[in-house]
Amino acid sequence: MINFSPTPEQEKIVEQYRDFAQRWIVPNRLKYDELAEFPWEIVKAAYDEKIMNGPMPKIYGGHEHSLLDGVFASEELGAGCVGIGICIDANTLALTPLYLAASDEQKKKYFGLINELKGVAAYGLTEPQAGSDVQGIKSTAIKKGDKYILNGQKRFITNAEASTFITVFAMTDPEKGSRSLTAFLVPTDSPGVVMKPRLKKMGQRASVQNEIEFHDVEIPEANRIGDEGYGFIIAMKTFDRTRTGVAALSVGNARAAYETAKEWTKNRKQFGKPIAANQAIGFMLADMATKIETARLLTWNAAWAYDHDKKKLNKLSAMSKLYASDIGMEVTTDAVQAMGGDGYTWDFGVEKMMRDAKLCQIYEGTNQIQRLVISKSILKE
């Protein structure tokens, strides 16, 4: 049986996140886009209203969302603002290695800490020489007694300067290379952690990124997540889950641009009739609506497959991220075009949605890398 209806609980999640986005995100999105500041007031409110840390188990203070619950939530955040939405969802990216591989003790301590502080965490994988090629990571964490000594550099790390701790991936044995990649919990205030200035960027400007240097940072053995050498698997399994979130943010962003363009083109008259009454524009709206619907179904399917059979997720999550972020770019670009000069100004927000859409094609693995993941998977079948 195929059933595309959200359950009553999932409808409540949609309502809850949509309402939060309407009250907190939409009124503030242009302000944070212009300021390029981390939206602390919104993140604190998100904690107060049980929006943060959706997938975290209830025993640790979370809401135990399934992946499908999560994509319903992320679509609403994306429809509010992808930049602010990713401040919330990047926390999930940083915590997913813990969901997957941390001990109960680590979960209790670090989930407790993040909830108490109403704080955020960051996910530290990318390095100057290791972007798409994760196996090129150079950071090392060399064991010395009951500690590891971390040295290296991370780049483009979302939430970094705002974070309480960073999930860092480093090699424990440079001779073994990426086979020794291991995940660690690194409190941001540890001596030797150097936060570089905030990155200046095109879109999703409410979300902050920094380069981070690690100079002889001492990490207690108790902060290792999973076994030595499991870092690569943890990083990839994390993306298998979180890429559906990027897909859902993209669907939400595309939906917001489409709805804005639809209303505007119905009301704007030229040559004695609404702009939308021209087939060239009506068909553009039809294509937008069809692409959004298709991307949403693919994203739901990927998340549903994970919730039911974790093995299937790798290909489907890559497909959902690839397709939803590509159509996100197309739909937002068409929304700007359909709205003419008004689309290009700051007044209606669609130019921001177009700038925000671009990044979804790049982070959590570029769309070229998604195609690589999909092609490897289908050629194995």
> Least distance to ligand FAD from the beta carbon of 375, Å?
10
Task: Provide the terminal-to-terminal Cα distance of the chain, rounded to the nearest Å.
Answer: 25
Q: Among the candidate windows 156-164, 189-197, 226-234, 275-283, which touches ligand FAD by CB under 6 A? A: 156-164
Amino acid at 6: P
What lies within 8 Å, CB to CB, of 302 at 6+ separation is: 243, 244, 247, 313, 316, 317, 319, 320
| CA-based radius of gyration for the chain | 21
The reply on whether position 123 binds ligand FAD by CB under 6 A is: yes
> Least distance to ligand FAD from the beta carbon of 99, Å?
16
Burial class (CB in 10 A: 0-12, 13-18, 19+), 158: buried
Q: At what angle do helices 82-101 and 40-48 cross, to 10 degrees?
A: 60
Give 353's DSSP letter: H
Taking a C-beta distance cutoff of 8 angstroms, is the pair 198, 162 a contact? Answer: no
> Least distance to ligand FAD from the beta carbon of 124, Å?
6
Instruction: Kindly give the pairing relationship between strand 140-144 and strand 193-198.
Output: unpaired
Beta-bridge mates of residue 184: 168, 224
Strand, coil or helix: 195: strand
What's the chain's length in residues? 381
The position carrying tokens 């002889």 is: 216
> Least distance to ligand FAD from the beta carbon of 219, Å?
18
One residue of 118, 143, 147, 201 binding ligand FAD per CB under 6 A: 201
Q: Among the candidate windows 32-40, 243-251, 324-332, 356-364, which touches ligand FAD by CB under 6 A? A: 356-364
Taking a C-beta distance cutoff of 8 angstroms, is the pair 43, 87 a contact? Answer: yes
Strand, coil or helix: 199: coil
- Residue 161 known to be catalytic: no
Q: 81 to 100, contacts with ligand FAD by CB under 6 A?
A: 90
> Least distance to ligand FAD from the beta carbon of 46, Å?
18
One residue of 209, 242, 260, 333 binding ligand FAD per CB under 6 A: 209
Q: Among the candidate windows 39-47, 118-126, 176-184, 223-231, which touches ligand FAD by CB under 6 A? A: 118-126
Cβ-closest position to ligand FAD: 131
Q: 359 to 378, contacts with ligand FAD by CB under 6 A?
A: 359, 362-366, 368-369, 372
| String of contacts with ligand FAD for each residue 231-270, x by CB under 6 A | ----------------------------------------
Q: Among the candidate windows 117-125, 188-196, 239-247, 249-257, which touches ligand FAD by CB under 6 A? A: 117-125
Q: Rank residues 224 and 321 by Cβ distance to ligand FAD and give the closer one.
A: 321
Catalytic residue among 64, 211, 364, 381: 364
Q: Residues 151, 152, 156, 161: what is their CA dihedral angle, to the nearest 10 degrees? A: 30
Give residues in contact with ligand FAD (CB under 6 A): 90, 123-126, 131-132, 156-158, 201, 209, 359, 362-366, 368-369, 372
Catalytic residues: 364
